[in-house]
Structure 1
Amino acid sequence: MSEDRTYVCIDLKCFYASVECVQRGLDPFTANLVVADPDRTEKTICLAISPAMKDLGISNRCRVFEIPKDVRYTMAKPRMKLYMETSADIYSIYLRYVSPEDIHAYSIDECFIDATPYLSLYRMTAKQFAAMLMDAVFKETGICATAGVGTNLFLAKVALDITAKHVDDHIGYLDQAEFELTIQTHMPITDIWNIGPGIAKRLAKFGVYDLRGVCQMDEDALYREFGVNAEYLIDHAHGIEPCTIAEIQAYEPSSHSMGSGQVLPCGYSYDEGLIVLKEMADQLILELVEKHLVAESLSLYVGYEKEKDAEVPAEGYFDGGHGRRSIGARGNIPHTGGTRRQTDRTNLHSKLMPRFLDLYRETTRTDKPIRRINVGFGGVVPEEFATVDLFTDPEAEAEEKSLQKAMLAVKDKFGKNALLRGVSLTEKATARERNEQVGGHHA
């Protein structure tokens, strides 16, 4: 395999918590700080904890009640707008050293950089190059970072996740030889990027617990078990990743979808859930109009409150570094819903809203409290592909679209809460509060 390229994967350490510490003049490596909403119950998830708290053995993204009672800490209310602005500032620092074509933002606090052309330019080794970027970020923002260096994107990510934790400079390095020596036999296998507890459990059926075991498995058996996804598993088990940043940036999906979801603050009744559904569908339809798109299918997911005796999972928890979750939890949550293909492609509220309501009424249970609702559109294409039939009233449709665009113009100028439907003024509605949030948290 060719190793003529070098990639760097940089992660901002405990990002949200570090930003809050910097804002308060605290050292995140000595101060105990939790990013969580104090207005919510103790079951709310901590969006981040400071490195000092992680050193105490507290799990990242734990729930507030899981923090030991003898640990004193500061609770910071989430400020998503601040975190996004800080992330953008850090991205602009990277752009002083590298071209945007060589950066792939993986998340708000993590990115990949193709360092290949810059090592000769700056006359540095790959580790020196990573250290230069990390130092620049720290000097200007006070945010510490860790990094992984590898000869492909996968090796850089694994070097970040595993190797960087065990070196003094917090910069891990993996080439093919080092990967085969140290990572192929690493356990637990769930430490490896993109291998969660579900995949690990399926591999365990074959007596496989590390990547070397995957390499030794019969490939036909892997394809029977995992289908086409076996190809990624086999490549990664051998330390292979042919994809480049250039290919990621050039990628265009063959189909598009869009969606929205929220976890409700408490168990909602059937009728209360219907209120939230109407709000969510209304906003998603307006998003179609705003982006000049139409959809050919719609989907609904309604998740219900779990029984009390199912709170503690029998198989324990999985912590992938970005939060702890119960193994098999998603499969244990009772849910209903489905996907419906439409006879037309449209973005008209008068057509789409009744279809969402029908799907809700046909599939949603009335005897269990609702805790999560997701709505979505599939087969999303540009508006010029909207369909018409002999019963279409062009004038009525033009009038409705004009009204939808007027609503968007008002919201754009005066804020999302400047114009609301009456349903959003009821007690259990959530749209007004969510319109002031980013990603379900206070902006």
Structure 2
Amino acid sequence: MGIFDYSREPQADIAFVDMKSFYASVECVERGLHPLKTSLCVMSRADNANGLILASSPMFKKVFGKSNVGRSYDLPFDIHTRKFSYYNAKRQGLSISPEYVSFIEQWAQATLVVPPRMDLYIQKNIAIQNILKNYASVDDILPYSIDEGFIDLTSSLNYFIPDKTLTRKEKLDLISAQIQRHIWQETGIYSTIGMSNSNPLLAKLALDNEAKHTEKMRSNWSYEDVESKVWAIPKLTDFWGIGSRMAKRLEGLGIYSIKELANSNPDFLKKELGVVGLELYFHANGIDESNVHKTYRPKSHGLGNSQVLPRDYTNQSDIEIVLGEMAEQVSVRLRRAHKKACQVSIMVGYSKIENKRPIQAQMTIEPTNNTNILTGYVLDLFRKKYSSGAVRNIAVSYSRFVEDSFSLISLFDDPEKIEKEERLQSAIDTIRDEFGFTSVLKANALLEASRSIERSKLIGGHSAGGLDGLK
């Protein structure tokens, strides 16, 4: 098949397990409801007209035609009154008829809109990871995200299914079905599994492009299926690793399908797209030499924090309060990593009513992890770029790290003052490590614009948890 000898390529028995609508399913199960038949969405800040839909059940998606991520104003009904929203429907170009309005309002009344509970989802994830450990060693399991992950069953197939009359493909399907049942029996959550007797990439492609649409919610793609299945993926953006921007670049090169990508000249792709082009060429031919047992470690590191504000911030001093808090939070993480930053970056996104491009700025600095110094740089960047306008989301990040033992002291620096600040900073960090980040706060944390206390209750930016990366 093609120009590749697949017998020379790595072969493993891989299952890629994905919890179906994980957050929404957990919420349904907790309420004693069927996760596949209940219309439910998990919405952050549902009391806000700009509420963010984090997850939704399969029935919610089917009825309202919405994917997981969206805003409350994207729905064809008002989440407070549950009445049909002509304004929202018109914005989306929906055809409005009495039958459609009645249909939407009936389902809107039956739909549950619930807040996120990140601590609960983490508990369920841990329970599922413990289930997977019944089928493979810890080294054979690679979590991909909170609701999905790879499990290498190469060493487990013959142990669980010793029947020599069955092929490895049949054994992989049987043990994957067993995993699905086990997860459902223990948690009530349905799972989808992409399988491959070849490599992790083909298991992931099987999940995304076929398993989710089959009755048994399982599918196997291996080397022998590359031409018939991988090349038949309908859109470039349905392929792992190809987003809308990469798809446009490929189309600019005259490549409009996965089959055309697989049959392109690899030298041409490398010349036009670099190493990524060559990687996509091999992936389109089903070749992936990644190893579940070797965790990917990025070469370049950065630390950052971002947040969507609960309302439009129009007062510059209020915006600066939040920027300062975020600068401090990331500084703490920087010191915990025993690093100093040589670059500071900010992003300030405007409210949709402004119709303005976001502010993006960065600057190179002398190595530091001092909160006051880094906060000063963050505010300087902001003040140079901001003039006016309602702000809705912000981000602060530090990068280009050196070890925290590295120091540059000029003739104009006061060593005693620097040492005193470092001791104070270290004392505050120690107190926060022991008693939590909010045990020591600046006075402006009590101001209405501050987000420190509120965010101390969050996990990953959502309710029930802690500051991102902070105790």
TM-score (norm 2): 0.83
Q: Is the CA contact (8 Å cut-off) linking 1:305 and 1:334 kept in structure 2?
A: no
Provide the rounded CA distance (Å) in 2 between the counterparts of 1:277 and 1:77: 26
Name the residue aligned to 2:320. Answer: 274
In structure 2, the partner of 1:66 is 74
Shift of 1:374: 1.1
In the alignment, residue 96 of structure 1 is paired with which amino acid?
Answer: N
CA contact (8 A) 2:14 2:203 kept: yes
What is the Cα deviation at residue 285 of structure 1?
1.0
State how 1:242-253 maps to structure 2 within 5 Å.
242-247=289-294, 249=295, 251-253=296-298
Q: 1:94 to 1:388 in 2, by over 3 A?
A: farther
Structure 1 position 267, deviation (Å)? 2.7
Question: Could you tell me whether the CA contact under 8 Å between 2:45 and 2:310 is conserved in 1?
Answer: no
User: Which residue of the partner structure matches residue 303 of structure 2?
Assistant: 258
Give the match's secondary structure for 1:264.
Answer: strand
Structure 2 letter corresponding to 1:210? S
Q: How far apart are residue 294 of structure 1 and its match? A: 1.7
Aligned partner of 2:343 in structure 1 is: 297
One-letter amino acid matched to 2:454: E
Question: Does the 8 Å CA contact 1:346/1:387 hold for their aligned counterparts?
Answer: no
Contact 2:262 2:281 in 1 (8 A): yes
Show the 5 A alignment for 1:53-202. Answer: 53-56=60-63, 58-61=65-68, 62-69=70-77, 70=104, 71=107, 72-123=110-161, 125-150=171-196, 151-202=198-249
Gaps of 5+ in 1: 311-332
Q: Which amino acid aligns with 1:334?
A: R
Does 2:342 match 1:337? Answer: no
For 2:58, the equivalent position in structure 1 comes to: 51
Tell me the CA shift for residue 256 of structure 1. Answer: 2.0
* 1:401 pairs with 2:422: yes
- Whether the 8 Å contact between 1:279 and 1:423 is mirrored in structure 2 is no
Q: How has the CA–CA distance of structure 1 residues 122 and 182 changed in structure 2, closer, same or farther, with 3 Å as cutoff?
A: same
* Amino acid paired to 2:337: K
- Equivalent in 267, 285, 304 of residue 331 of structure 2: 285
Q: Which residue of 2 aligns with 1:209?
A: 256
* TM-score, length of structure 1 as denominator length: 0.87
Q: Compute the displacement of 1:93 (Å).
A: 1.5
**Hey, what does 2:374 align to over in structure 1?**
352
Q: Provide the secondary structure at the position in 1 that maps to 2:193.
A: strand
Q: Which residue of 1 aligns with 2:93?
A: none
Letter of the 2:194 counterpart: G
| Bigger Cα Rg | 2
Distance (whole Å) between structure 2 residues aligned to residue 228 and residue 268 of structure 1: 42
Instruction: Compare relative contact order (CA 8 Å, sep 6+) and give the higher one, 1 or 2.
Output: 1
Moved more, 225-234 or 63-72: 63-72
Please state whether the residue corresponding to 1:355 is helix, strand or coil: helix
Secondary structure, in 3 states, of the residue corresponding to 1:55? helix
- Specify every segment of 5 or more residues in structure 2 that has no aligned partner in the other structure, as ranges: 1-5, 78-103, 163-170, 465-471
Aligned residue in 2 for 1:361? 383
> What number of residue pairs does the alignment pair up?
416
The residue identity in structure 1 corresponding to 2:150 is F
Letter in 2 for 1:341: T
Decide whether the 8 Å contact of 1:9 with 1:157 is kept in 2: yes
Letter in 1 for 2:241: N
- Tell me how far apart the structure 2 counterparts of residues 401 and 290 of structure 1 sit (CA, whole Å): 14
Amino acid at match of 1:30: K
Identity %: 34
Give, in whole Å, the separation in 2 of the partners of 1:366 and 1:424: 25
CA distance in 1, matches of 2:415, 2:137: 48
- Give 1:51 deviation, angstroms: 1.9
Instruction: Give the 3-state SS of the residue equivalent to 1:60 in structure 2.
Output: coil
Q: Distance in 2 between matches of 1:87 and 1:212?
A: 37
Q: CA offsets, 1:332-384, max 9 Å, x none?
A: x61223222223x221223322222222222x221332222111111224323
Q: Are residue 419 (structure 1) and residue 440 (structure 2) matched? A: yes
Aligned residue identity for 1:13: K
One-letter code aligned to 2:72 = V
